[in-house]
Amino acid sequence: MEQKMQEFLAKYEIAPCEHIETVLDTSTTCLVVRGCVGSGKTQLFLSRLAYLLESEAAQKEQMLNLVVDASSARMMKQAYRERYGCEKTPNFVDIFSFAYRIVSFYDEKNQNTRKVFSNMQKAADKILRTQFKLICSNVEIERLLQKVYQCKLRLLNEKRIAEIKMDNIDFAAFYNAYEKFKKQKKIYDKADVLQEALHILMYDKEMLELYQQRFAYITIDDAQELSYAAQMLIRILQAHQAKLCAFVNPQVSCDLTYDADATIFDAWKDDYEDYKEVVLTTTHRLNSTLCELTNRFIPSTMTTASTEECEIKYKGFSEWKKMYDYALKRVEEKEEVAFLYREDAIAIPLIEHLVSNQIAVNFQWNIKSFLNDSIVKDMVNFLSLFINPRNMRAFFEVHKYMGLDMSNRMLLEIDGIMSDQPQMDIYQSIIASSYKASGKRLLSSYMEDIREVSGGTTFDMLQFVLEKFAYDANMRKERRTIQDPVWIALQILAAKYPDPREFLEVLRGLINISSSEHADVYVLPLRAAYGRQYSCVCMIDCFAHIYPKFKGNAYEEAFERRLFYMGMSRAVHHLELFTGKNCFGTRLEMSPYIYELHGKRKEASKPKATSSRLREQDFKRGVRIEHASLGKGTIKRVKDGMMEVVFAEENKMLNIKLCIKNKLVKLV
């Protein structure tokens, strides 16, 4: 070992290990460090950077240090300063920000202007509705955009793009419409930025030489998250001159949106003569119980240095309130707890519950997105109207859901009647207006119910809108269901705040809740926990429609497993997985991963009933049935010998006795 290296290890009290000399060697052209969760990759990553600066092998301006995202960049800078001091802190950047700097510099030099948008879902939704007459769910739009980004980041040509097939849509036509939309608006998505940066370096020799001369060392943490285009960008920059070092853990490659591909590093072995590889298979984070669990979920050769054991808890809650009360109890018992989630809406009632109980919480959430969600806005308007039947603004937003088809002229007439007659509300003004007779009869048919529910609880009002105005049918048109996380979050908050005025006040107040940066209680999206570890981890939304969220092919299914694996492997001492089967009458299924980890799902001991043996009492709420002509569905409610069944396209009221007698149904 060189004298400089020995002095460096002694100065920072770094214990010599098997691979430290290889990692700190500044002469290797290409080094790949493959390591499992908690194997010390991050410490080796920071040690290499510190040694480059300490040994004066490079100035910090000559080092390109890539991390997975902007949050990781901040975390790395803080970790480096805590370990090696602030005198020579290197810079950290994610690949998209780095690519944007190249594009911005090029645009400034050539006097170009372009805007970059990270979230293109609204644009894609607009294109689908206006040009293709399609209404797609959020998951379907995500999958479509993922395919678009894959095309860009795999550098596919027009012929290859034209060959791509997707269900229910001409993908090539959508791709062209999407590109045309961006060109008209003069905007770029993140994949465009990476593709454009690569294009600039490939075809602008002056720009390429500038960046190649700038960097002598390229070091990448979590390199498994890089796409093919990102790796091509790095290879062009390196050009066998800069020293390249990549830290990789393929088991937590979790960027499906931007086409992460950890397999490309396998080719580096043949591309570089001076290639070295370090393999780290011992985790210093996971105890023996967690190591065995994660190895069982995604098979690997990982071993643990810990002899500690712990209990893995699978918590199923019959009521959501119990889950949040349990979470509060867990916070009071543990010094450090991280509640990890995938769907933002699921976390909102938890954060509100903890903060309302005077618990400091370190959280990340997109509360504006939640409050601007169409379901939330509609329910806020309905409740505002029930509370104040003269609220014309609220009525204007929701009258279409009430079956009242009104022109703007008619709405102005109703508003005018209320202005002239302050004692009259909207409903009375409609009856007094020139509105069509059929509409007045429809309004009169449920006027008494509206008056009654106006004095009810928040939850009663939500259910009234769902059932009386068939709002669930509108949700299905928007390719959403009553299992939607936003609807579930509203129900939970409605149950906690029965007074609708208080409920609305709480909703409006969510925007003012601030995160406590130094709190030991975390409520974070799964991606934000990347690269971090916590004493106790609770994954709070382990449901079948969330894990797995994408399950169309083997590629997506492998990604889903890695994402769930990443969440579990954030725990150091304690892991809990939260789930449930019911939320205020909405049937929920536990994630199949829970069954897999907890043991095989027990099959029913008795055979499925056939139509010849069916009895009326077999048909209960939540039971799955299959109808001879309507297909499979779930019983929503049973009353007076009738059952309301939720089928794929619509809800149907069926006579139970007639269904049994005519052998129209069977249990699923």
Domain spans in the chain, listed from the N-terminal domain onward: 3-101+195-280, 115-185, 290-364+519-598, 370-509, 611-667
Tell me if 599 is assigned to a ligand binding site.
no
Longest dimension (CA), the chain: 95
Residue 613 has a pLDDT of: 67
Angle between helices 228-238 and 190-203 (to 10 degrees): 30
Could you tell me the end-to-end alpha-carbon distance of the chain, in angstroms, rounded to an integer?
A: 68
Task: With beta carbons less than 8 A apart as the criterion, state whether 467 and 459 touch.
Answer: no
Tally Cβ neighbours within 10 Å of residue 13: 6
* Sign (positive or negative) of CA dihedral 181, 183, 187, 191: positive
40 annotated among ligand-binding-site residues:
yes
Q: What CA–CA distance (Å, rounded) separates 82 from 420?
A: 70
Instruction: Give the model's pLDDT for residue 149.
Output: 93
pLDDT in tens, 467-508: 999 998 999 888 888 889 999 999 999 999 999 999 999 999
Give the C-alpha separation, 142 to 123, whole Å.
12
Answer yes or no: are the C-beta atoms of 346 and 540 closer than 8 Å: yes
> Is 35 annotated for ligand binding?
yes
CA angle in degrees (0–180, nearest 5) for 506-507-508: 90
Please state, in angstroms and rounded to a whole number, the distance separating the CA atoms of residues 170 and 352: 43
The residue count of the chain comes to 668
Contact partners, residue 478, CB within 8 Å, separation at least 6: 135, 137, 374
Identify the band that residue 1 occupies on the pLDDT scale cut at 50, 70 and 90: low
**Six token digits for residue 160:** 């290859």
Closest to 447 (Cα-Cα) out of 473, 428, 422: 428
Better-predicted residue by pLDDT, 582 or 122: 122
> Which of 105-114, 119-128, 658-667: highest mean pLDDT?
119-128
116 marked as part of a ligand binding site:
no
Determine what percent of the chain is predicted with pLDDT higher than 90: 62
What is 611-667's CATH topology? SH3 type barrels. (2.30.30)
Q: Vertex 298, ends 295 and 303: CA angle to 5°?
A: 25
- The CATH number assigned to the domain with range 290-364+519-598 reads 3.40.50.300
Q: What is the CATH number of domain 370-509?
A: 1.10.486
DSSP 353-418: HHHHTT---EE---HHHHHTSHHHHHHHHHHHHHH-TT-HHHHHHHGGGGT----HHHHHHHHHHH
| 290-364+519-598 and 611-667 agree in CATH topology | no
Q: Which CATH superfamily is domain 3-101+195-280 in?
A: P-loop containing nucleotide triphosphate hydrolases (3.40.50.300)
Is the per-residue pLDDT at 601 higher than 60? Answer: no
Unique residue bearing structure tokens 């999206």: 525
Sequence-ordered list of residues with C-beta below 8 angstroms from that of 633, at least 6 positions apart, any chain: 624, 625, 626, 627, 645, 646, 647, 648, 652
Is 39 a known ligand-binding residue? Answer: yes
552 annotated binding-site participant: no
585 is in an annotated binding site: no
Mean pLDDT of the chain, nearest integer = 89
Phi, psi at 488, each rounded to 5°: -65, -45
Contact 426, 381 (CB under 8 A): no
pLDDT of 256 > 80? The answer is no
Query: Do 236 and 208 meet the contact criterion of CB atoms below 8 Å apart?
Result: yes
| pLDDT tens profile 5-39 | 988 999 998 887 778 999 999 888 999 999 999 99
Region of 69 (left: φ > 0; alpha: ψ -120 to 50; beta: rest) is beta
Q: Quick one: pLDDT at residue 167?
A: 83
243 appears as a binding residue in the annotation: no
